[in-house]
A and B are shown apart, each in its own frame.
Chain A
Amino acid sequence: MNTLARNAAHAFGENRLTLVAVVILALLVLCAIFGPSLAPYDPLMTDGAARLVPPSAAHPFGTDALGRDILSRVIVAARLDLGMAVAAALLSFVGGLALGAIAGYFGGWPDRIISRVMDTIMAFPLFVLAMGIVAALGNSVLNVIVATVIINLPFYCRFARSEVNVRREMGYVEAARMGGNTALPVLVTYIVPNILPPMMVQVSLNMGWAILNAAGLSFIGLGVRPPTPEWGIMVSEGASFIISGEWWTFVFPGAALVLAVFCFNLLGDGLRDLLDPKRRT
C-alpha cells in the first residue's frame, strides 16, 4: 500500500495534468448527477423571443434556434452522454473479461470459437459496424449502447485472454488447483483479481473512445432523438448555423465532448502510471 501511495504522489506530482483530469471528472460527475438542478433554465424550454442569442450574462453559452439555453442543455446532457459511455464501457469490460478468461484459461475449442468471433468483429471498420448494428436492431439509445459494447468487446477480450493465459500455469494458480478448487473458483478468486488493475486502465482509456463513438452515432442521427439534450446531436443541430456565424450553437456542446474525452484519456494515462509505472511512454 505504501508503494501505491508513493506512486500516487509521484503520478500526481509529476503530472499535474492528472490532477486537472480528476477535477474535470468531478465536475462532469456533478453535472451528471445534479444536472437538472444545476442548470439555470429548463433545457427543453423554448423561447421565441430569444432565438440564437450570442453568449451573454443571461445565457453564458447563448441560445439555439428555438431559444433554448445552451448552457442548461450542455449541463443536463452530461448524464446521458456519460451514462451511455459508462454503461457501454462497463458492459464490454464484464463481457470481455468473462469471454477472455474462458478463452485464456481453457484454451482448445472455446478459445478458438471466441477468438474467431472477436477476429470477425475486428474485420470491420468499427464505427461502420456500429452503424450497421444500430440500423439492424433499431434506432434507440439502448441499441447505441449495445453497438458500442460489441465493437469494444474484442479489446477487453483479447487483453483478458492473454493475461489469463500467462497466469494459468503460475505457481499460485497450480497451488490453488492442487487445493481442490475447480476452474471457476480458481478464475474468480485467484486469477481475475490479479488482472483487474491492468484491465481498469483499459476501461479508463476506453471510456473516451466510447464517448466519441456514441456522440458520432448521435451526430448522424442515430440513438438519441431531438429535443433530448445530448452533446453529439447538439453539435449536429448547431452545424447548420455555422455559415451564418452562430458559432456558439455547436462550439459549446463540442467543447463539452472534447473536455470529457480529454479527461478520460488523461485519467487512463495517470492510472497506468500509477498501477504500472514500467509501461510509461
Chain B
Amino acid sequence: MHFFWKRLLGTIPSLIGVVLVTFLLSHALPGDPAAYFAGPAANATSIAEVRAKLGLDRSLPVQFLHYADDLRQGNLGNSLTTGQPVLSDLIERLPASIELTFFALAFAVVAALPLGVWAATRPDSIVDHSCRALVSIGAAFPTFFIGLLFVYLFYFLFDIAPQPLGRLNEILYTAPPRITGAYTIDSILAGEWGVLRASLAQLILPSVSLGMFALAPIARITRAAMLQALGSDFIRTARASGLPTRKILINYAFRNALLPVTNVLGMVFSFLLGGSVLIEQVYGWQGVGAYAVTAVISSDYAAVQGFVLTMAFLYVMLNLVIDLLATAIDPRVRFES
C-alpha cells in the first residue's frame, strides 16, 4: 500500500509537466492570438480589448496560474468549430476512442503473447521465422495504410466487413441509450443484441488494424523474455525434476517473462493512443482523434489543446496502472525503486 501512494504521488510531476507543456504550446502560436481572435475587421483598440479579455496582457506566470485554475474547474475553453465547450465535446467522444483502443490492445495481446511463446519454444523453426517476419512487417506498415488495405480487401474485394463509416450503421440500427458511451457495453446493458453484433462488426477492422502495430513490440519482447527465462537455471531444475512441459512453460517461464512484457506496454499505449488518431480518420470513427484532426486543420486551438491534454492525462494514468501491474507481477520491482 505504501508503494501505491508513493507511485501515485509520482504522477504529480508528470501531470504538472503535461499542463505546463500544453500551456506553452498555446503560447507558441504563430502571430498574435489577440489579433487572431479579434477577427479581420479589428483595429488596435479592439485588439487591445481582446488581449485584456483573454488575459494576454499579463505576465506568463500569471497567465499560467489562470490556465491551471481554469483546468481545475474543468474549463478547457470553447471549440470554434462545434461551438461547444471543449470538455463536453471530448467527454462525448472519448468513450468511442477508449473502446477502439481497448479492442486493439486486446487483439494485440491475444495474438502476440501465444505467438511469442510459441516462437521461443521452437527457436529457428518455421514458427520462429514467421514470428520474426510478422514482427518486421507489423513494424514497417504505417497504421493508416494497414487500415486502408483492410478496407480494400475485406470491404471492397471480399465484401465480408460492414461499410467502414463510423461506429454503427445508423440506417439499420439506432445507438443504444448512453450509459458508458461505449456502444458494445451500452448495448449489453440495454439487452439489444442486434446492436451489439453490429457494433462489434464495425469494431473488428479498425481495432485489428490499430492492434497490428502494437503486436510487433509485444511479440518481440515476449519471444526474447521467454527465451531468456527458458534458458535459466530454475527451468533446468524444473525440467530435471520431471515437471510437465505445460507447467514449466506457463507457471515457471511465462510468469517470469511477464514483467518485461508489462514494461513494454507503456510504449505500446503511446503507439495505440497516437495511432488511434489515424485509424479514426480512416474509418470515420467519431472519437477524440477525428475531432482533433478537424480541430488542427481548422486552427481550433482550444480543441487541440484540450485533446493533447486529455490524451496525455490518459497516458500518465495508463502508465500508473502498468507500474502497479508490474509490482503485482513481480514484487522485486517495489524494492528496486
Q: Which residues in A have some Cβ–Cβ distance to B below 8 Å?
A: 116, 119-121, 123-139, 208, 212, 215-216, 219-222, 232, 235-236, 238-239, 242-243, 245, 247, 250-251, 254, 257-258, 261-262, 265-266, 281
By the criterion CB–CB under 8 Å, are B144 and A216 in contact? Answer: yes
By the criterion CB–CB under 8 Å, are B18 and A124 in contact? Answer: yes
Cross-chain contact of A128 among B137, B281, B308, B319 (Cβ < 8 A): B308
B162 to chain A: closest CB distance in Å? 12
Cross-chain contact of A242 among B156, B224, B278 (Cβ < 8 A): B156
**For window 247-289 of chain B, which residues contact chain A by CB distance below 8 Å?**
269-275, 277-278, 281-282
Q: How many Å lie between the Cα of A125 and that of B274 in the bound state?
A: 6
By the criterion CB–CB under 8 Å, are A124 and B21 in contact? Answer: yes
| B175 contacts the other chain (CB 8 A) | no
Q: How many Å lie between the Cα of A238 and that of B220 in the bound state?
A: 33
Closest 10 CB pairs of A and B: A127-B274, A120-B17, A125-B273, A132-B308, A262-B140, A254-B145, A136-B25, A261-B140, A123-B14, A138-B30
| B26 contacts the other chain (CB 8 A) | yes
Cross-chain contact of A235 among B18, B144, B274, B305 (Cβ < 8 A): B144
Name which residue of chain A comes closest to B305, CB basis: A132
Q: How many Å lie between the Cα of A226 and that of B148 in the bound state?
A: 20
B71 to chain A: closest CB distance in Å? 16
| B85 contacts the other chain (CB 8 A) | no
Q: Which residues in B have some Cβ–Cβ distance to A below 8 Å?
A: 13-14, 17-18, 20-22, 25-26, 28-30, 136-137, 139-145, 148-149, 151-152, 155-156, 220, 223-224, 269-275, 277-278, 281-282, 292-293, 295-297, 299, 301, 304-305, 307-308, 311-312, 315-316, 319
Q: How many Å lie between the Cα of A123 and that of B315 in the bound state?
A: 7
Residues in chain A near residue B305, CB distance under 8 A: 132
A276 to chain B: closest CB distance in Å? 15
Given A265-B140, A281-B220, check contact A258 B145 (CB 8 Å).
Answer: yes
Interface secondary structure of A, over-half rule: helix
By the criterion CB–CB under 8 Å, are B296 and A125 in contact? Answer: no
Residues in chain B near residue A133, CB distance under 8 A: 25
Residues in chain A near residue B30, CB distance under 8 A: 137-138
Residues in chain A near residue B308, CB distance under 8 A: 124, 128-129, 131-132
By the criterion CB–CB under 8 Å, are B224 and A215 in contact? Answer: no
Interface secondary structure of B, over-half rule: helix
25 chain-A/chain-B pairs, Cβ below 8 angstroms: A120-B17, A123-B17, A123-B312, A124-B18, A125-B270, A125-B271, A125-B273, A128-B274, A128-B292, A128-B312, A131-B304, A132-B307, A135-B25, A136-B26, A136-B28, A212-B142, A216-B143, A219-B142, A220-B297, A222-B296, A235-B148, A257-B142, A258-B142, A258-B145, A261-B139
By the criterion CB–CB under 8 Å, are A125 and B142 in contact? Answer: no
The residue among B13, B149, B224, B271 with the most chain A CB atoms within 10 A of its own CB is: B149
Q: How many Å lie between the Cα of A136 and that of B29 in the bound state?
A: 5
By the criterion CB–CB under 8 Å, are A137 and B14 in contact? Answer: no
By the criterion CB–CB under 8 Å, are A120 and B21 in contact? Answer: yes
Residues in chain B near residue A247, CB distance under 8 A: 152
19 more CB-based (< 8 A) A-B contacts, given A127-B275, A136-B26, A281-B220: A119-B13, A124-B308, A125-B274, A125-B311, A127-B271, A128-B277, A129-B21, A131-B277, A132-B307, A133-B25, A135-B304, A137-B28, A220-B278, A222-B296, A242-B152, A250-B152, A251-B152, A261-B142, A281-B223
Given A123-B316, A135-B296, A262-B136, check contact A216 B17 (CB 8 Å).
Answer: no
Residues in chain A near residue B281, CB distance under 8 A: 219-220
The residue among A128, A208, A239 with the most chain B CB atoms within 10 A of its own CB is: A128
A152 to chain B: closest CB distance in Å? 13
Residues in chain A near residue B17, CB distance under 8 A: 116, 119-120, 123
B218 to chain A: closest CB distance in Å? 14
